[in-house]
Amino acid sequence: MQIVYHMRVHGTDDDRMVKTLLNNRDWMHANHTEVLTPNRLRGVFDEALTALQGGSATPEMEQIMLDAILSSDDPERVLCSMPGFLGAMSKAVTPQGLYPGIANRMAAMANLFPSSETEFFLALKNPVTLLQSLMMLSPARNFELMVQDVELSKLRWAPTIQRIVNSLQGRRLVLWRHEDSPLIWPEIIRLIAQMPTDAALKDGLGFVYELLSPEGSARLEKSLAGRDQLTIAARRDICIEHLAAHAMPAKINEEVSLPGWTQEMVDEITQQYHADTAEIAVLPGVEFVMP
């Protein structure tokens, strides 16, 4: 069995992964793939992680967990996506960097099912907009405590991902930039589900449609009608064209209002993020999906 974890960085998913996968449940069922909703996962993994403290589950414990979360008999691939896989929001940004405990947590999650192959999927996010998301999700005082004593130079993904690669010991790690998600969403869904390119994918462009005005959505739908054999590059070009002409500004321009931050600080972190993702994309042990 293959256990696949979608690690949801704060402010990156809003259950889109689960919704898209469930829209393709007929294909999943026919191909022995089960999609687990957050409701079926909630509590089970946290209790097991607490009990094991990073150690490996016994065969008996594995079976108890599988009985609790699975609804089908003997699936070959199990897809898990839930807020909270990365731990408490208060641990996302610390003086030690971004998600400093994530490497150990992912290794512990792999140990929940030691008899299975384990894979991890993770969307990176610009630390500026990550902080913005955390501020929106946190009470003001909690956010102040979260960013207290955090240096700008520590807001980097490269050290975090390097620790993850080391901790996973060769297990599959698929990464992408959240900002690229609308254009590469069909490829991400196919990768996580192991869905071949000749299988019909439903709702693969839902992310793009969310960003478009009603007129833009209608125009994109018309442009794609009857063109099922488009190459990935051609489909992306069409989506880029429609986003440029019809995207809703409020959907694509995230206003940054971090207390005490200047435009220079925003630019510095954004440039650092671009440099980090370029470095991460060529790391051994990383599959990086790019538009």
The domains located in the chain, with CATH, are 2-212+247-289 (3.40.50)
CA distance 57 to 286: 26
Work out the average pLDDT over 153-173: 96
Average pLDDT over the chain, rounded to whole? 93
Query: 192 by DSSP, 3-state: which?
Result: helix
In the predicted structure, residue 138 carries a pLDDT above the cut 90: no
Work out the number of other CB atoms within 10 angstroms of the CB of residue 59: 9
CA distance 96 to 280: 19
Going by pLDDT thresholds of 50, 70 and 90, the confidence category of residue 227 is: confident
Tokens (6 digits) for 126: 């610009």
Work out the number of other CB atoms within 10 angstroms of the CB of residue 95: 11
In the predicted structure, residue 144 carries a pLDDT above the cut 90: no
The Cα angle at residue 172 between residues 178 and 98, in degrees rounded to 5? 45
The Cα angle at residue 176 between residues 155 and 193, in degrees rounded to 5? 140
pLDDT of residue 290: 95
Sequence-separated (6 or more) residues with CB below 8 Å from residue 140: none
Query: 188 by DSSP, 3-state: which?
Result: helix
Q: Cβ distance 176 to 289 under 8 Å?
A: yes
Work out the number of other CB atoms within 10 angstroms of the CB of residue 274: 12
User: What percent of the chain shows pLDDT beyond 90?
Assistant: 76
Element (H, E) at 120: strand 117-124
Tokens (6 digits) for 64: 């108890």
User: What percent of the chain shows pLDDT beyond 70?
Assistant: 100
Work out the average pLDDT over 8-14: 91
Q: Cβ distance 167 to 104 under 8 Å?
A: yes
- Residue of 17, 28, 40 whose CA lies nearest to 184: 17
Tokens (6 digits) for 77: 């691939």
pLDDT of residue 16: 93
Cα–chain-centroid distance for residue 88? 16
Going by pLDDT thresholds of 50, 70 and 90, the confidence category of residue 148 is: confident
In the predicted structure, residue 199 carries a pLDDT above the cut 90: yes
Work out the average pLDDT over 191-219: 94
pLDDT of residue 93: 92
Tokens (6 digits) for 174: 């698929």
- Specify the pTM: 0.94
In the predicted structure, residue 87 carries a pLDDT above the cut 90: no
Q: Cβ distance 288 to 176 under 8 Å?
A: yes
Sequence-separated (6 or more) residues with CB below 8 Å from residue 3: 78, 80, 112, 113, 116, 117, 118, 119
Tens digits of residue pLDDT in 15-67: 999 999 999 999 999 999 999 988 888 888 889 999 999 999 999 999 999 99
pLDDT of residue 17: 95
pLDDT of residue 204: 93
Work out the average pLDDT over 125-137: 92
**Residue carrying the six token digits 């955090």:** 150
Tens digits of residue pLDDT in 233-289: 999 999 999 999 999 998 888 888 888 889 999 999 999 999 999 999 999 999 999
Work out the average pLDDT over 116-126: 97
